Chain A
Amino acid sequence: MIGNRYPAADVLAQRGRWDAATRAVVLDRVHNVPEFRYFNGHDRVTLEALCARIIPQDHRPIEDRVPIAPWIDERCAGAASVGFRFEDMPDDATAWVLGLTGLDDAAQSIAGAPFCSLPSIKQDRILNAIRTGDPPGDTWQRLPARRWWINLALKQISGIYYAHPTAWNEIGFGGPAYPRGYAALNFGAREPWEADEVLDPGSSPA
């Protein structure tokens, strides 16, 4: 579990100082989480289990957790293009479904059960097998595991998480700063409206 490095951070409290377009985009993300349209049943449960291991949020009350799986679903349902696909990969929506099947293939082979039913420590073993690029299972003969892991699973899931003000608070990111701008530029100084970093006793960041 991670510490609470910026306990006073509340980026959203500054929203009255943001421009209207930025405020609309961020608040829409916070308040209007899409319904699932693309994944259902077992795939949806597997996707949620994957998101919970890549970005563990057990330390937060459920209502404070950043939703991630619904946004993956939204991208797949809308067949959103990010500008390219690798020639050895299908389109993103298809690759997501294949990858979730691959998670179960590997889970069955390594632990004898579907991914979503495993305890988290075993789920992490499955993910580490994919991370190293050579997981067991037929699906991974057709889908390059390392590419799926980095470009879809990690980049999309982390991208959705770090787009959320809750994650900005966690890392001490000051957030939008137009039209106000920044004034305290040197040597890590903070603006009056930014939070101080509070390190755990005995720990140092680097």
Chain B
Amino acid sequence: MKLDVRLSPNWLLDLEMREYRTTDPVDFCIIGTGAGGGVLAQRLARFGFSVVALEAGDWHDSERDMVSDEAGSGRLYWNDLRVTGGTDPLEFGANNSGRGVGGGTVHYAAFCPRLHPSDFRVRTLDGVAVDWPMSYEDVEPYYEAMEREYPVSGPAHFPWGAPHGYPYAPLEAGTAGQMLIKGCQALGIPVVAGGPVAIPSGRVGKRPHCIQRGFCLLGCKVGAKSSMLVSHIPDAIAQGAEIRTGCMAFEIPLDPTGQVSGVRYYRTDGDQRIEAEQRARVVIVAGYAIETPRLLLNSTSSAFPDGLANSSGLVGRNLMAQAGPVVWGRFPDLIRQYKSPPACALTEAFYETDPSNDFVRGYALQTVSPLPIAMAHLITEEAGGFGDELLRAMQDYNHIAAIGVLGEILPDERNTVTIHPTERDELGIPVPSMHFSLSENDRRMMVAGTGRARAVLTAAGATDTHAVTRYAHLVGTARMGFTPTDSVVDRWCRSWDVPNLLVCDGSVLPTQGSANPALTISALAARTADWLRRAAAAGALARRPSDPHAVEA
């Protein structure tokens, strides 16, 4: 079919997109088109494989569908029912979800830091959580590739983690970002300005550079901000991949030989709905940390009565949110925080374990610039205030600068995604139910990070500071590991149980560090794609990875 999707003011995606028949097995069927699925579709299509990517949502046309309006942007989010509980219940939908081509990358702030080398060895170094079944060096070339391909702006020499710099010059920081920089410098805390953020400080192809409009979190109408929608998806289509929208996967069927045979899904087109099954030689689940375990747990069979690829019992366990307390200060002078991208300055000076802390691991401090509704929600949540108290606090909107604490919450098997016993979504698919409770280490880290953010804002000149506990990014519910009993997938993101099934999204992260996860997810996807190319050629996808006769690719 001929596409008709505007990606920037001067870029109409009007390619002829290849369409595959559901009954003809494709080489790869990918579920989801976010930071993982988008890169996989592009890489695998470039390698010459036939690829269909199923996307539950629709295209986001930059002129028709994206708006400079908080309340009018609900279509960017996964708004289907989910049930949440635990001692610290997470809120879902909105910023920690994504729907439509590009997934959450369409509305992320676009901070794109790398993990640190220490993140891959948390068990060894700190005696908590688990190590990754790979090292930083294994991922490093893929970080470099993704920073070029997104691309990412930032300092020439990034002072934390492994030494590296960014291909595009730092972005201009708005006044809210300058308050983070000013406060850190007053306290002697190293800080960087203008990235790493995936908004290139220059034109990239048909993508103009940023106009400082400040609505990054509601989709970039300019096409400046990198997202899968503008970075990898167009190339995937040009290389012959099909992005099939309006398709909600509900089951991955298993054939009698113990391999998956394709994906069953509902396709909605206008008011028409059909049930279909795309046949595929390999299935890759990339639906993010809630929908991925939901789909696996809903795909039961006599071989896998507790959910597909779940012999370890770990599908849906170790749900991690990233700690994301928001701290804001009021300043005598005008800030006008709504101008410029919210992502523009950060410090990772408190990222690593510090023996003088009462907790292990750490946090980053990053700029956030809430638009009016987001600001009102922070203010009401802090103290429950209403009436003139609320209106007066909001009248100081232009005098507020805010900092986000982004901190490492550790994995805990008791934090779970399960299937709700009775609730169904509009399609009749059982909905996911989440339980989340903080550990003592998590709480202490958030207290320390919040205190540090208050100190920074005060040092920058804030007359008073305020804070609300929040959470961001969700990962961990189909973790990768060393053996079939300690994890759901191996270091190539392949299921230990089913040889032609992979999971490649935030779910596979064993730990999360204090870095926004999109770049890491894309880097892992690119690495997995390289392995799949070798593995397919070697015939390695016919046997389970733990099989004594497995073929090493």
On A, residues with C-beta under 8 Å from B are 1-3, 5, 18-22, 25-26, 29, 53-56, 80-88, 124, 127, 131-132, 146, 149-150, 154-155, 158-163, 167-168, 170-190, 197, 204-206
Contact B67 A22 (CB under 8 A): yes
Q: CA separation between A11 and B316, bound complex, in Å?
A: 47
Contact A205 B399 (CB under 8 A): yes
Q: Number of residues in B with C-beta < 8 Å to the partner?
A: 74
Taking CB atoms, residues of chain B closer than 8 Å to A182 are 211-214, 339-340
Contact A2 B212 (CB under 8 A): no
Taking CB atoms, residues of chain B closer than 8 Å to A22 are 67-69, 72
Given the known interface contacts A26-B72, A159-B373, A162-B394, the answer about A131 and B384 at a Cβ–Cβ threshold of 8 Å is yes
Contact B85 A87 (CB under 8 A): yes
Does B439 sit within 8 A of A, measured CB to CB? no
Taking CB atoms, residues of chain A closer than 8 Å to B221 are 19, 178-179
19 contacts between A and B (CB under 8 A): A2-B392, A54-B386, A81-B81, A84-B81, A86-B85, A150-B384, A155-B377, A155-B380, A159-B71, A162-B394, A163-B69, A171-B398, A172-B397, A178-B211, A178-B222, A186-B174, A197-B334, A197-B398, A206-B331
Which residue of A173, A184, A204 contacts B397 across the interface (Cβ within 8 Å)? A173
Which residue of B78, B339, B375 contacts A185 across the interface (Cβ within 8 Å)? B339
Taking CB atoms, residues of chain B closer than 8 Å to A206 are 330-332, 396, 399, 462-464
Known: A127-B386, A176-B67, A178-B211. 8 other contacts (CB 8 A): A87-B83, A87-B85, A88-B85, A146-B384, A154-B381, A179-B222, A182-B214, A187-B334
Contact with A along B306-340 (1 / 0, CB 8 A): 00000000000000000000000011111110111
Does B89 sit within 8 A of A, measured CB to CB? yes
Does B13 sit within 8 A of A, measured CB to CB? no
Shortest C-beta distance, B402 to chain A (Å), equals 14
Shortest C-beta distance, B197 to chain A (Å), equals 15
Does B93 sit within 8 A of A, measured CB to CB? yes
Q: Is the interface of A mostly helix, strand, loop or mixed?
A: loop
Taking CB atoms, residues of chain B closer than 8 Å to A146 are 384
Does B70 sit within 8 A of A, measured CB to CB? yes
Does B144 sit within 8 A of A, measured CB to CB? no
Shortest C-beta distance, B262 to chain A (Å), equals 29
Closest to A155 in B: B377
Which residue of B63, B92, B375 contacts A84 across the interface (Cβ within 8 Å)? B92
Interface centre among A127, A171, A179 (most CB of B within 10 A): A171
Q: CA separation between A20 and B72, bound complex, in Å?
A: 13
Contact A155 B381 (CB under 8 A): yes
Contact with A along B52-77 (1 / 0, CB 8 A): 00000000000111111111100001
